[in-house]
Amino acid sequence: MVLEKYLDELSDPNRPLKISQVERLSNLGPDELAAVRERWARIPADRRRRLLSEATELAEDNVELNFDGLMLVGLEDPDAGVRAAAVAGLWENDSRKVLVRLLELVERDPAEEVRVAAATVLGRHCLRAQLDDLLPRDAARLRDTLLRVFNSEAESVEVRRRALEAVGVFNDEQVAGAIERAYRHPDRRFRVSALYAMGRSCDRRWLPMVGEALSSPDPEVRFEAVRACGEIGDRTMVARIAALLEGPDTEVRLAAIGALGKIGGGAAKRLLQRYLTHPDEAVRDAADEALAEARFFEDPLGRSLT
């Protein structure tokens, strides 16, 4: 009865939305889910969207809360914003049922924002595929679906680029061809996503293009290029990254510091040491974190005394 009362309160637009009570919608059993489905449409759409967004944040902060049942209700909502929020809320869900549903949504949902959200979440499942955490047929379907979405001229730029970013981890010749086409595309948004995909691939084959992009006048391109350098982890790029540490764009500078931490090695650590006393607190904190990361990956068991 407590749950039903809360759902009735949510349905009344004249009553304040009590975010503190959202936890009541976690870890729902079959009967409770049935009650939510029965009353869901009575809740105003803006409240349904906010509920799912708040539930996602709560679950990120408290692993004991599970809102997957609520998110599955949201996936069938007639409101696109609610469906997109539900997709985002299923980020950590590893069930095959959810994976199959996301693959359907990324191609068939009528709303662009839902297809974008689905492509983004499918990126995590691509990583699972690379770790052999998916059935081979599911991994193949995942790759093929995302490539098909990227290659579709009828699809929006935003959905296509998110599909490319997701599928980049597969890094076979077809995927590599898609990444290179995106990098050469006249729309700069594709170039940005291509660089992101290059980083996710962790493949040294992309170093010439990534190096070229480090000198781009576009700060977003430089940002993704320097991040890709960090993910690829090639120490020959340290000097190129160092040139960005005093650049005019703060986000690029912080990305360069983070990349040095991922690459590691003596030269990278010496550069990071210099920024531990930087006048900008954000730079100091980033350098300290990057230096700790570099040291950890060189000595993960903490055996070094220096």
Q: What is the pLDDT along the chain (306 residues), one digit of tens a residue?
A: 578 888 888 898 888 877 778 999 999 999 999 999 999 999 999 999 999 999 999 999 999 999 999 999 999 999 999 999 999 999 999 999 999 999 999 999 999 999 999 999 999 999 999 999 999 999 999 999 999 999 999 999 999 999 999 999 998 999 999 999 999 999 999 999 999 999 999 999 999 999 999 999 999 999 999 999 999 999 999 999 999 999 899 999 999 999 999 999 999 999 999 999 999 999 999 999 999 999 988 765 555 544
275 close to 287: Cβ distance less than 8 angstroms:
yes
Q: Give the Å distances, CA to CA, from 299 to 259, 273, 295.
A: 18, 18, 6
Please state the pTM of the whole predicted model: 0.92
- Phi (first) and psi of residue 168, to 5 degrees: -55, -25
Measured over the CA atoms of residue 8, residue 57, residue 198 and residue 218, the dihedral's sign is positive
- The two tokens of residue 34 are 């049935």
- Phi (first) and psi of residue 217, to 5 degrees: -75, -10
- The two tokens of residue 278 are 């930087």
Domains and CATH numbers, the chain: 202-306 (1.25.10.10)
Who's near 39: CB < 8 A, 6+ residues apart?
A: 4, 7, 8, 10, 11
